[in-house]
Amino acid sequence: MLINIFLFELQQRLRRISTYVYFVVMTVLGCLFALLSGGAFSGASVEFGTGGKVLVDSPYALNGIITYICFFGIVITAPIAGQATYQDIASNSTPFFYTAPDTAQVHLAVEIPATAFKFEKIKGKQHAAVNILGIAYKPDESIAARFSDTVNIDFDDKKQVDEFQKHPFRYENQFGVASGDYKLKVVFNSGNESFGKLEMPLLIDPYRGQEISISGLALSNNIRRAADAFTGLDSQLLEDRTPLLVKGLEVSPSASNHFRKTDTAAIYAEVYEPLLKNSNPPEVAYELIVVERKSGQEKLHIGERAPKGKAGDPVIPLGLKLPVASLDPGSYRVKLRAVDSVDNSSKTRTADFEVE
């Protein structure tokens, strides 16, 4: 159990730039104190308060150096310990899809540290429950939308619990909200203890249903046949969510938008073209661009016709390949917009992703 927690925290730290920044800063400070104490810089010295000569590697001198460095360490102790105690749940983006004019359904996907689940033996089984509360706040702090949920996990023995806690637990939910600018806050707790939070901006721009538009972008490396996705799911679960379906496949949004070069990655989006309800509908196409975030260098640029949907249906689901295999490890941004043959164009939607 403890080794799983240690390995999880180690993996989390090694992925953060701040870990290496702290390491470099503390190493430089330690070396600087040692060099100053040894007289490496003319005109600068370190006095240990003894009034005489003291060896730089004496216990008294080392105690003084370590004490001074610890003062700097206090500054970084809070963010390190605070993060371990109250994890910020990883969530890279929250795609949304219009369901009516000025109304959207938000698809939330996060990874929860499985080590934070508090298991206890109940009726012969290892049981844990995680309570989730999500609230979308308006700029004036009033509530625009909220949801609550409870996830119950049961295993037969501790061995299964240990195996479960080796990997993050994926959580998904959906909720409806009107167009607007919000701050989304989600809090997780297990065993009456809060252990995680998610706080991020949520912007859903107005959609009147009278102009071509496009949804948010859902990036994914979890794509499967729709028939397989629904096998074993009860009717209540199916009623509570709307799957992202395209060409007989279900696309599950990524919780982190981190992909390996060997992943089969894709983009799901929806194009809304009200002119498709006309007797002589226009052609619809899309433009897809991938750029490197740091340099802005373009890595991919394609434009193709969108597949034809059902006659008279103004919604076109798009399932597009994200070519991570052809990209070097790094940080990227994908841009997608829709156009039609009568010179109308949607806004450009973007999503950031990483290739490992």
**Tell me: the pLDDT tens digits for 155-164?**
999 999 999 9
13 plus 60 within the same structural domain: yes
* Tens digits of residue pLDDT in 31-76: 877 777 666 777 666 665 555 566 666 777 777 777 777 777 777 6
- Average pLDDT value for the chain: 84
Over its C-alpha atoms, the chain yields an Rg (Å, rounded) of 26
Residue 160 domain boundaries: 89-207
CA–CA distance, 74 with 71 (Å, rounded to integer): 5
Same domain? For 201 and 314 the reply is no
- The pLDDT tens digits of the residues spanning 246-265 come to 999 999 999 999 999 999 99
Burial readout 64-83 (b: 16 or more C-beta within 10 A, e: otherwise):
bbeeeeeeeeeeeeeebeee
Last residue of a domain, one of 189, 207, 225: 207
**290 closest CA partner among 317, 259, 262:** 259
CATH number of the domain to which 201 belongs: 2.60.40.150
| 12 pLDDT higher than 90 | no
Residues 174 and 31 occupy one common structural domain: no
Say yes or no to pLDDT of 198 above 90: no
**Single-letter amino acid, residue 316:** I
Q: Over 80: is that where the pLDDT of 123 sits?
A: yes
Lowest mean pLDDT among 15-19, 43-47, 136-140, 211-215: 43-47
Strands 265-272 and 315-322: antiparallel
Say if residue 236 is in the same domain as residue 296: yes
Q: How many domains does the chain have?
A: 3
- Whether 70 and 120 map to the same domain: the answer is no
- Same-domain check for residues 66 and 113: no
Among the residue ranges 24-33, 278-287, 328-337, the one predicted with the least confidence is 24-33
> Is residue 133 domain-shared with residue 174, that is, in the same domain?
yes
**Strand runs labelled E in 113-228:** 120-122, 125-137, 143-155, 169-178, 180-190, 193-204, 213-214, 218-220, 222-225
pLDDT band at residue 139 under the 50/70/90 scheme = very high
Compute how many other C-beta atoms are within 10 angstroms of the C-beta atom of residue 334: 21
Residue with the larger pLDDT of the pair 62 and 128: 128
Q: Are residues 329 and 190 in the same domain?
A: no
- The band of 86, judged by pLDDT with boundaries at 50, 70 and 90, is very low
With beta carbons less than 8 A apart as the criterion, state whether 186 and 198 touch: yes
CA distances from 249 to 47, 63, 120, 191, 311 (A): 71, 64, 38, 37, 21
What are residue 17's phi and psi, to 5 degrees? -65, -35
Q: Is 126 helix (H, G, I), strand (E, B) or coil?
A: strand
User: Are residues 260 and 347 located together in one domain of the fold?
Assistant: yes
Which of 177, 207, 237 is where one domain is finished?
207
User: Could you give the CA distance from residue 20 to residue 68 in angstroms, rounded to a whole number?
Assistant: 21
Question: Tell me, what's the pLDDT at 40?
Answer: 72
Which of the listed residues 158, 181, 207 is the one where a domain comes to its end? 207
Q: Are 265 and 321 in contact (CB under 8 A)?
A: yes
Give the helix/strand (H/E) hosting 103.
Answer: strand 103-112
Check whether residue 275 and residue 350 sit in a common domain.
yes
Question: φ and ψ at 328, to 5 degrees?
Answer: -75, 155
**Per-residue pLDDT reduced to its tens digit, 218-249:** 999 999 988 765 544 444 444 567 899 999 99
Model confidence pLDDT, tens digit, residues 314-346: 999 999 999 999 999 999 999 999 999 999 999
Task: Output 79 or 346, whichever has higher pLDDT.
Answer: 346
DSSP state of 276: G
In a 13 Å sphere around the CA of 161, the CA atoms on its Cβ side amount to 20
What is the length of the chain? 356
Say yes or no: 262 and 325 in one domain: yes
Q: What is the CATH number of the domain that holds 295?
A: 2.60.40.2550
Say if residue 242 is in the same domain as residue 316.
yes
